[in-house]
A and B are shown apart, each in its own frame.
Chain A
Amino acid sequence: MSSLMGLLDMGGSAIQAQNAGIATAANNSANVNTDGYTRQRVDLRANLGSPVYGGVTFGDPLRVGDALLAGRQRHVGGSSGYFDRLSSVLLDLEGVMTAAEGDIPAGLGELFGNINNVASSPLDPQVRESAVASAENLAFAFRQQSQEVARAREDADERVRDTASEASGLTGEIAKLNKAIQLQSDPVLLDQREQSALRLAELVGGKARIDADGQMRYLLDNGSVLVDGPRAASLEASVDATLGGFSRVEVVDGPHRLDITSQISSGELGADLHFRDDITSNLVQEIDQLAFDVATNINAIHRAGQGINGSTGQDLFVEPLTVSGAALLFEVDPVVVGDSSFLASGTVGQDVGDNGGMLALLDSSNQLLASGGTRTFVEESVRSISSVGQDVRAAIVDQKFHDAQRNGIEALRDSVSGVSLEEELNRLSQFQHASEANMRFVQTIDQILGEMIDRL
């Protein structure tokens, strides 16, 4: 009698176990399209059968994940985030630098072409006005180019602040999930933590590890700890005068603050900092240097010449005092703008129809006066823009490489942790049949028990 009751218990627990299998397969199927979901499997354990019977029990559903792949995914996430962002912002920068109708190379070409026209007709007021207008166009091109690059830097700075804020939110979330996982190791919580860590990697790079206590520790590439179990540091962006008013990024952990601005080289934040502090900063310097070289060299020649009104020592452009800011402040001297007879077309001491001044200016177009005496003005202005194109190209190549890597790892992760509807339907069918068989088994035992009771 007691063994029949035991068989009933065994049948009941078997039905429960198979139903748990059905529930797990159904849950997997329900989450087939959930991003970051890791498939689960029911943890069935055979009971010891000796000497009379065994049976089955089930534990909490198991998450079919691979910590190594998750780590690889985060690592590639940091690189992908970096190159995705870098290629995107560089493409934007290239667009604004080449979209303008009158860029610097065109401005230089127009100026030198019109200087030759003044050389041909130095006394023609219309020709002189055209030359002054082309000098103004060149000045506008310098200012516009400089402003566009400055705007791109400001946009990058804004993104740095936004990314720091989003990253801080994620570190807090990971710490909160660590705390929850300490209490209850629910697979969904683990998935959420993995998703948050992956997004954090895309934002700031770094590494995460899961320790034996099941807690995640997240470190930046420079070793700064962002998450340590239930404790989270934050990333704060604050205006720094030494960075020209741009934001510095600090890891803030209680009273401790660590400036990591120059140490982040991965993730979207790394890309924005590289774009802001290296690429556009260098570009601004290059444009400033070219503006400085053009203005000072042309001014030196212009000062040595003579206007048709007899003026000498007159600058064509407002003389820049420093290289820094030369492009942004590039302007034609208001005296020349106001009266084109100040345009030094002649040689000092010669009569008004002399064109020696213009010929000397024309010579400067072929002289290596830019970039430390290594290039002409036009060559340097073209090189400066095409170097952005080179950066874009390199970033796109890297982005494609890391994208392929990311896809590969995603495919690997999916092959381990992804939900296959076909598999789940098969399992559902298996568990359903097993559940039905166990029900039949319980019914049979129940009948035997019923008959035995009837005979009593």
Chain B
Amino acid sequence: MRITERRMLLQASRQVAKSRERVASAAGPVSSGIEVDRPSDDPARWAAGRRARVRLQVGDLREKAITASNARLSESDRVFSTVGSVASRARELAILAANDGAQNAESRVATAGEVTALLGEALVAANSRGLDGEFLLSGTRGDNPPFDANGVYQGDANARTIEAAEGNRLVVTVTGTLFTAAEGVDIFDEIVKFRDALLADDLTGIQNAIGALEQGVHQVSLGRAQIGGLQSSLDAAEIARADFEMVLSEVHQRAVEIDPIEAASELALSTQALEAAQALTERIAQVVQAV
């Protein structure tokens, strides 16, 4: 084949341009760490990486929901702790007041004052709001206090669930029903009845209150255990979420990021090819110049 000088130069310069392009495309991933930057780099890998990124994004937001739910359960636990302390103190007072030898009607009226204060303390705690302003124990009636001034439950029994992991929903709230007769005894009602018995100097009523308040204390403990269980589930969900996030990050990395050794080798090879093409072009230019 007859080769003209112009063709030789043209082919040499095209080869240099191709080699330069190869160096540029090899240098990009080395400097950015990303091999699949655009869908056309590898449509399947790009799509896998993009899907993983969306799942990571949803997972990040899910972490917020888990954290908020966990915080609410911690707040609820504090409420249960307070109510449990109140019930426990009321039970102590009931045992003391039931001692007919040491107590009289006057001292029982004084104890009733303390019980009223305890009831108030328990009701204030039970009507606490979470950080988001919602009443903690009202069930789905979160815009209303769960207990009225007499300790009667106004909320419902509907606990809330959220998606704690992909396709996995968890109950994340407890309701004030744990303080009501639905779970054993109505704790606030028992405290009210105990107070009334104190005021009426009703020894039988006081003695009955001991057992009921004992049951109330037990009920609160069960409630706290339930909260602990929910928190454990959420913690486990959060750990699973974090682990899954790592898996997704790996999926994303595998999909779009480079293999550093392979990328460095490609850069070295393409640089060598460019240098060779440049040397060849220089040589051809010398030959053509000699003509």
User: A residues near B, CB below 8 A?
Assistant: 32-33, 90-91, 94-95, 98, 105-106, 108-110, 112-114, 116-117, 119-124, 126-127, 308, 346, 350-355, 359, 362, 365-366, 378-379, 382-383, 385-390, 392-393, 396, 407, 411-412, 414-416, 418-422, 425
- 1/0 per residue, CB under 8 A from A, across B137-181: the answer is 011111100000000000010101111001101001000000000
List 19 extra interface pairs beyond A359-B161, A389-B39, A412-B1, CB under 8 A.
A32-B6, A98-B38, A110-B57, A113-B58, A120-B69, A121-B130, A127-B132, A353-B141, A353-B143, A355-B160, A366-B167, A378-B51, A389-B41, A411-B11, A415-B4, A418-B2, A418-B6, A420-B3, A421-B5
Q: How far is the CA of A415 from the CA of B44 in the complex (A)?
A: 43
User: B residues near A, CB below 8 A?
Assistant: 1-7, 11, 14, 38-41, 43-44, 46-47, 50-51, 53-55, 57-62, 64-65, 68-69, 130, 132-134, 138-143, 156, 158, 160-163, 166-167, 169, 172, 288, 291
Q: Among A112, A117, A123, A390, point to the contact of B39 (Cβ < 8 A).
A: A390
Q: Assess the A383–B132 pair: CB atoms within 8 A.
A: no
User: With contacts A382-B54, A411-B7 known, is A351 near B14, CB below 8 A?
Assistant: no
CB-defined A-B contacts under 8 Å, sample of 25: A90-B40, A113-B57, A116-B65, A116-B162, A117-B65, A117-B68, A120-B64, A120-B68, A122-B142, A124-B133, A350-B140, A351-B141, A352-B140, A353-B141, A382-B47, A382-B50, A383-B47, A388-B40, A389-B40, A389-B46, A396-B40, A411-B1, A411-B11, A416-B2, A421-B4
Q: Assess the B54–A105 pair: CB atoms within 8 A.
A: yes
Q: Assess the A425–B65 pair: CB atoms within 8 A.
A: no
User: With contacts A109-B54, A386-B46 known, is A117 near B61, CB below 8 A?
Assistant: yes
Q: Assess the B7–A354 pair: CB atoms within 8 A.
A: no
Q: Assess the B163–A116 pair: CB atoms within 8 A.
A: yes
Q: Assess the B60–A113 pair: CB atoms within 8 A.
A: yes
Q: Among A119, A121, A392, point to the contact of B163 (Cβ < 8 A).
A: A119
User: With contacts A366-B167, A418-B7, A420-B2 known, is A390 near B69, CB below 8 A?
Assistant: no
Q: Assess the A123–B51 pair: CB atoms within 8 A.
A: no
Q: Assess the A353–B65 pair: CB atoms within 8 A.
A: no
User: With contacts A109-B54, A123-B142, A352-B141 known, is A386 near B43, CB below 8 A?
Assistant: yes
Considering the complex, give the chain B residue whose CB is closest to the CB of A90. Answer: B40
Q: How far is the CA of A385 from the CA of B50 in the complex (A)?
A: 10
Q: Assess the A123–B62 pair: CB atoms within 8 A.
A: no
Interface of A is mostly: helix
Chain A residues with CB under 8 Å of B138's CB are 353
Q: Assess the A407–B14 pair: CB atoms within 8 A.
A: yes
Chain A residues with CB under 8 Å of B6's CB are 32-33, 414, 418-419
Chain B residues with CB under 8 Å of A383's CB are 47
Chain B residues with CB under 8 Å of A382's CB are 47, 50-51, 54
How far, in Å, is A393 (CB) from chain B's closest CB? Answer: 5
Among all A-B residue pairs, the 10 with the closest Cβ atoms: A389-B39, A113-B61, A353-B142, A124-B132, A392-B40, A109-B57, A120-B65, A109-B54, A351-B140, A353-B140
Most-contacted residue by chain A among B60, B172, B288, B291 (CB, 10 A)? B291
Q: How far is the CA of A352 from the CA of B158 in the complex (A)?
A: 12
Q: How far is the CA of A416 from the CA of B41 in the complex (A)?
A: 39
Q: How far is the CA of A95 from the CA of B2 in the complex (A)?
A: 43
Q: Among A106, A354, A386, point to the contact of B47 (Cβ < 8 A).
A: A386
Considering the complex, give the chain B residue whose CB is closest to the CB of A395. Answer: B40
Considering the complex, give the chain A residue whose CB is closest to the CB of B3. Answer: A415
Q: How far is the CA of A359 from the CA of B140 in the complex (A)?
A: 14
Chain B residues with CB under 8 Å of A390's CB are 39-40, 43
Q: How far is the CA of A94 from the CA of B40 in the complex (A)?
A: 8
Q: Assess the A120–B39 pair: CB atoms within 8 A.
A: no
Q: How far is the CA of A414 from the CA of B61 in the complex (A)?
A: 64
Chain A residues with CB under 8 Å of B64's CB are 113, 117, 120
User: With contacts A124-B133, A353-B134, A362-B163 known, is A119 near B65, CB below 8 A?
Assistant: yes
User: With contacts A116-B62, A353-B160 known, is A121 near B40, CB below 8 A?
Assistant: no
Q: Assess the B43–A389 pair: CB atoms within 8 A.
A: yes
User: With contacts A95-B38, A422-B291 known, is A110 near B47, CB below 8 A?
Assistant: no
Chain B residues with CB under 8 Å of A379's CB are 51
Q: Among A106, A110, A120, A353, point to the contact of B162 (Cβ < 8 A).
A: A120
Q: How far is the CA of A416 from the CA of B53 in the complex (A)?
A: 56
Q: How far is the CA of A271 from the CA of B6 in the complex (A)?
A: 31
Q: Assess the B5–A352 pair: CB atoms within 8 A.
A: no
Q: How far is the CA of A414 from the CA of B43 in the complex (A)?
A: 39
Chain A residues with CB under 8 Å of B288's CB are 421
Q: How far is the CA of A379 from the CA of B55 in the complex (A)?
A: 11
How far, in Å, is B137 (CB) from chain A's closest CB? Answer: 11
Q: How far is the CA of A389 from the CA of B41 in the complex (A)?
A: 7
How far, in Å, is B52 (CB) from chain A's closest CB? Answer: 10
Q: Assess the A420–B163 pair: CB atoms within 8 A.
A: no
Q: Among B5, B158, B169, point to the contact of A359 (Cβ < 8 A).
A: B169
Q: Assess the B54–A123 pair: CB atoms within 8 A.
A: no
User: With contacts A105-B50, A382-B47, A418-B6 known, is A119 near B162, CB below 8 A?
Assistant: yes
Q: Assess the A94–B141 pair: CB atoms within 8 A.
A: no
Q: How far is the CA of A415 from the CA of B138 in the complex (A)?
A: 90
How far, in Å, is B10 (CB) from chain A's closest CB? Answer: 8
Most-contacted residue by chain B among A105, A386, A416 (CB, 10 A)? A386
Q: How far is the CA of A266 from the CA of B60 in the complex (A)?
A: 49
Chain A residues with CB under 8 Å of B132's CB are 121, 123-124, 126-127
Chain B residues with CB under 8 Å of A396's CB are 40
How far, in Å, is B161 (CB) from chain A's closest CB? Answer: 7
Q: Assess the A351–B139 pair: CB atoms within 8 A.
A: yes
Q: How far is the CA of A350 from the CA of B162 in the complex (A)?
A: 17
Chain B residues with CB under 8 Å of A346's CB are 140
Considering the complex, give the chain A residue whose CB is closest to the CB of B164. Answer: A116
